[in-house]
Homo-oligomer: A and B are copies of this chain.
């Protein structure tokens, strides 16, 4: 199998560590607002879970905000209406809420991401294919030092993954056949759809992703081993090493 000419990267979870970044910022903010009894890890995971559900709903033709910041804000407001988060709702001002909502623009890369992407740059065209907005992805690239050749985002392609318009739209903009393009993600569902539309698939195991997904994480196997993806790596550096040596 010849190497793909381009790699498309899922960003949240795959390239940036939203989990640690969001929890750290919530905890820092907590110290200022004196909210000590909240399980911020659970809060962050619930927020993220809401995002996963809502983007999939919109991808399948359902209603929902087309702007990612609006979507995160709607989900944040819904969380704050729950009884368990009443203490937060009573303390956070509008300024707090809008600041916290933009934490998704300030996520740190996984330790291997920046350098691996720099190395991969010699071997393929590298672009995001994310449900984030263009601006969000630009901010993250600058914040986490990620050198992309192009940003493909949900507001550009006018839907969310796993809608086929995302995968096929990005290939078309690159002037490539889907078989010439690889999708890199830490989410098996993303790769299942990428594969369905003819792209090659690179699964990255990330500790915070595909948690509770029976067919995800350590259960993912390559086709050669009877699984459903082309490659499995433990981080992006392993992917970069694979490209450098093959």
> Which positions in A face B, CB cutoff 8 Å?
69, 125, 127, 133-135, 138, 141-142, 147, 149-151, 153, 155-156, 172-176
- Take A149-B141, A150-B150 as given contacts and tell me if A173 and B134 are in contact as well, using a CB distance cutoff of 8 Å: yes
Q: Which residue of B lies closest to A127 (CB)?
A: B138
In the complex, what distance in Å separates the CA atom of A135 from the CA atom of B173? 6
Shortest A68–chain B CB gap in Å is 10
Which residues of B have CB within 8 Å of A149?
A: 138, 141-142, 151
Q: Which residue of B lies closest to A142 (CB)?
A: B149
B173:A156 contact, CB within 8 angstroms: yes
Shortest A118–chain B CB gap in Å is 11
In the complex, what distance in Å separates the CA atom of A174 from the CA atom of B137? 10
Give the contacting residue for A150; candidates B69, B138, B173, B175; CB below 8 A. B138
Q: How many copies does the complex hold?
A: 2
Which residues of B have CB within 8 Å of A176?
A: 135
Given contacts A135-B174, A155-B173, 19 further A-B contacts (CB under 8 A): A125-B138, A125-B142, A127-B138, A133-B173, A133-B175, A134-B150, A134-B173, A134-B174, A135-B173, A138-B149, A138-B150, A138-B174, A141-B149, A142-B149, A147-B147, A149-B151, A150-B151, A153-B173, A156-B173
Q: Which residue of B lies closest to A121 (CB)?
A: B142
In the complex, what distance in Å separates the CA atom of A125 from the CA atom of B139? 9
Q: Which of A138, A141, A155 has the most CB of B within 10 A?
A: A138
In the complex, what distance in Å separates the CA atom of A138 from the CA atom of B7? 13
Closest 4 CB pairs of A and B: A135-B175, A134-B173, A150-B151, A138-B149
Shortest A147–chain B CB gap in Å is 7
In the complex, what distance in Å separates the CA atom of A147 from the CA atom of B121? 12
Which residues of B have CB within 8 Å of A153?
A: 173
28 residue pairs A–B, Cβ–Cβ below 8 Å:
A69-B175, A125-B138, A127-B138, A133-B173, A133-B175, A134-B150, A134-B173, A134-B174, A134-B175, A135-B173, A135-B174, A135-B175, A135-B176, A138-B149, A138-B150, A138-B174, A141-B149, A142-B149, A147-B147, A149-B151, A150-B150, A150-B151, A151-B151, A153-B173, A155-B172, A155-B173, A156-B156, A156-B173
